[in-house]
């Protein structure tokens, strides 16, 4: 018997074509951990209005970001799994996606059948929020196999140091007026109901700032991107913050996206195209993105060490256990 590690990322359409994107968005936007509106109200709106209008538009974005290896998010997640496996030769390391393939529940069951008597489930999201983590937890538990779920890793000193080093290198390579920490947004209502995400984003920024003393604190700001729908989300919104920075005379901006450990539609299309265009149209001069971890060897070593620590019980309350007996 051996220990397993399942890395879980958000997922991607099977192809950048409209039908595949529509299938992906239907699953993603039907998740009530993401969209909390009553199904009787939301589903007709989703299927009758949003999917017909949004699917083809999103497909054009996926086509712009698609590579010869397919979806960048999937390709980087696959590479992470391979590199972590190299660092844990006695483990069984695999990956799964919350939406799309491979499935979380099925992959965990296959790992048990292949000889894993216990598996560490590691969502590739540093900060916990219901909208990313709860569905992973629910589907992992549904496999009915013994698991340890790592709930977040934003607080890990090694992670914060790796992030700080990437930021410091990028800051030193340019002449910037501002550094923006842009996190993926969530509805304000989730935070009002107790979601710890905003608090953990604040703690991430503070931890990294303590490791980058060369960057003046008055040149660092936070924002939230990727707002969806009419309800209020966490503020300030990234696009508004970019325009505000230009008004303040800060026209050379470095952006880091700590919510994302791999390049994806949000970093490639939303930031490097749409938000870049907003910034330039407002009068900005330089808009540079700090690349995500993207399966960097040091980050993969961190993931391997984190899994070992969790397996030994060293993360304490930062993990959740599910000890159901394997199915036979």
Per-residue pLDDT reduced to its tens digit, 137-161: 999 999 999 999 999 999 999 999 9
Domains and CATH numbers, the chain: 2-153+297-322 (3.40.50.1400), 157-289 (3.40.50.1400)
pTM of the model: 0.96
Instruction: Pull the structure tokens for residue 3.
Output: 């220990």
116: enclosing H helix or E strand? strand 116-123
d(CA 236, CA 191): 15
184 marked among binding-site residues: yes
266 marked as binding residue:
yes
Which pLDDT band, with edges at 50, 70 and 90, does 229 fall under? confident
Q: Note whether 131 and 33 are within 8 A (CB).
A: yes
* 23-71: pLDDT as tens digits: 999 999 999 999 998 999 999 999 999 999 999 999 999 999 999 999 9
Peptide bond into 144 cis (omega under 30): no
Whole-number pLDDT of residue 230: 86
Q: Check whether 199 is labelled as a binding-site residue.
A: no
Q: pLDDT, tens digit, for every residue of 71-82?
A: 999 999 999 999
pLDDT at position 325 = 55
Q: How many CB atoms lie within 10 A of CB 296?
A: 18
d(CA 144, CA 299) in angstroms, rounded, equals 30
At 261, list the tokens. Answer: 């450990």
Q: Does the pLDDT value for residue 277 go beyond 90?
A: yes
Rounded Cα gap, residues 324 and 142, in angstroms:
10
pLDDT for the residue numbered 107: 98
Which residue from 72, 185, 182 is spatially nearest to 132, judged by alpha carbons? 185
What's the confidence (pLDDT) of residue 328? 43
């Amino acid at each position: 018997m051996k220990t397993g590690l399942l890395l879980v990322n958000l997922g991607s359409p099977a192809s950048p074509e409209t039908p595949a994107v529509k299938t992906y968005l239907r699953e993603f936007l039907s998740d009530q951990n993401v969209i909390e509106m009553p199904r009787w109200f939301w589903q007709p709106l989703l299927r009758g209005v949003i999917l017909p209008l949004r699917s083809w538009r999103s497909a054009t974005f996926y086509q712009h970001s698609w590579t010869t290896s397919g979806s960048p998010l999937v390709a980087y997640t696959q590479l992470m799994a391979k590199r972590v496996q190299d660092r844990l030769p006695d483990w069984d390391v695999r990956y799964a996606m919350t939406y799309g393939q491979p499935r979380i529940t099925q992959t965990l069951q296959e790992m048990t059948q292949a000889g894993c008597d216990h598996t560490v489930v590691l969502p590739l999201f540093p900060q916990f929020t219901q909208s990313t983590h709860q569905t992973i937890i629910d589907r992992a538990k549904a496999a009915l196999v013994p698991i340890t779920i790592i709930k977040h890793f934003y607080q890990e000193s090694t992670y914060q140091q790796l992030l700080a080093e990437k930021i410091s290198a990028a800051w030193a390579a340019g002449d910037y007026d501002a550094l923006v920490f842009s996190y993926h947004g969530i509805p304000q209502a989730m935070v009002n109901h107790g979601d710890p995400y905003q608090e953990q984003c604040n703690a991430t920024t503070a931890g990294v700032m303590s490791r980058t003393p060369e960057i003046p604190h008055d040149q660092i700001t936070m924002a939230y991107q990727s707002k969806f729908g009419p309800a209020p989300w966490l503020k300030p919104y990234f696009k508004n913050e970019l325009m505000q920075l230009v008004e303040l005379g800060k026209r050379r901006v470095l952006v880091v996206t700590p919510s994302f450990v791999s390049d994806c539609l949000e970093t490639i299309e939303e930031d490097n195209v749409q938000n870049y265009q907003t910034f330039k149209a407002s009068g900005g001069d330089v808009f540079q993105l700090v690349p995500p971890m993207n399966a960097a060897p040091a980050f993969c070593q961190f993931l391997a060490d984190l899994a070992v620590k969790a397996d030994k019980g060293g993360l304490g309350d930062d993990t959740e256990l599910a000890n159901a007996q394997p199915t036979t």
